[in-house]
Amino acid sequence: AVTTFLLAIFFAGPFISLNGRPFMLFNIFERKFILFGQVFWPQDFFLLALTLITLFVFVILFTVAFGRIWCGWACPQTLFMEMVFRKIEYWIEGDANEQRRINNGPWNAKKIRRKVTKQIIFILLSVLIAHITMAYLIGIEEVKVLVSQPPSENMAGFIGLIVFTGIFYGVFAYFREQACIAVCPYGRLQKILLVKDS
């Protein structure tokens, strides 16, 4: 239920507007940020900094008191990896033991069909996630214009979508949990934040 709710917010967010403004927009290119329909400009940066510091302190205190709830229940990496990509992988290739058996077995038509189907679905999902992410950066109307024109009309936007797609595909198809271990600063802090009773 938590995953469904958070994924619904992520996918619906660019399409929601309040008072004629997007629900959320993080347009770093035009230095325009909209949170819950309220516009913030660069001169309002101190509010953003104060909010981020408060959020960071809250996450640290929450982790010390209750454990890794962020990592297990709310982190986008976990939501997409465990509740979307891994579910599809299990649906196509079976559980971990079945996947090991398939990977160690000979290449035959069944194995090729499963591997290719999984990768095609992963790429399509990565394309979808990239477009939604881009909508949070430039706005859904700009993304609609971007996808309705040939790439030559807006090469920067097209390259951005390709890069986002490649990053999401690489992380969810291959890099996986290493993103938490090696890249995520919060994951690196877990050892010092957790206490015996967490």
Where would I find the H helices in the chain? 2-12, 45-66, 69, 76-80, 86-93, 96-104, 109-138, 140-148, 155-170, 178, 185-193
Beta strands 21-22 and 24-27, pairing class: unpaired
The larger pLDDT score, comparing residue 54 to residue 186, is at 54
Condensed to tens digits (0 to 9), the pLDDT of residues 131-179 reads: 999 998 888 888 898 889 898 888 888 998 999 999 999 999 999 888 8
Tell me what pLDDT residue 116 has. Answer: 94
Tell me what pLDDT residue 189 has. Answer: 74
Tell me what pLDDT residue 198 has. Answer: 58
Residues 111-125: what's their mean pLDDT?
A: 94
Tell me what pLDDT residue 170 has. Answer: 93
Condensed to tens digits (0 to 9), the pLDDT of residues 2-12 reads: 889 999 999 99
Helix (H) or strand (E) holding 27: strand 24-27
Tell me what pLDDT residue 58 has. Answer: 83
pLDDT over 90 at 128, yes or no: yes
The larger pLDDT score, comparing residue 33 to residue 3, is at 3
User: Which band of pLDDT confidence, cut at 50, 70 and 90, is reported for residue 195?
Assistant: low
Condensed to tens digits (0 to 9), the pLDDT of residues 70-88 reads: 788 888 898 999 999 999 9
The larger pLDDT score, comparing residue 36 to residue 104, is at 104
Beta strands 38-40 and 17-18, pairing class: unpaired
Tell me what pLDDT residue 86 has. Answer: 92
Q: Is 193 helix (H, G, I), strand (E, B) or coil?
A: helix
The larger pLDDT score, comparing residue 196 to residue 99, is at 99
Phi then psi dihedrals of residue 37, to 5 deg: 85, -5
What's the CA gap between 102 and 75, in Å, rounded? Answer: 30
pLDDT over 70 at 197, yes or no: no
What's the CA gap between 132 and 164, in Å, rounded? Answer: 10
pLDDT over 90 at 33, yes or no: no
By CB atoms closer than 10 A (0-12, 13-18, 19+), residue 153 is exposed
Tell me what pLDDT residue 85 has. Answer: 94
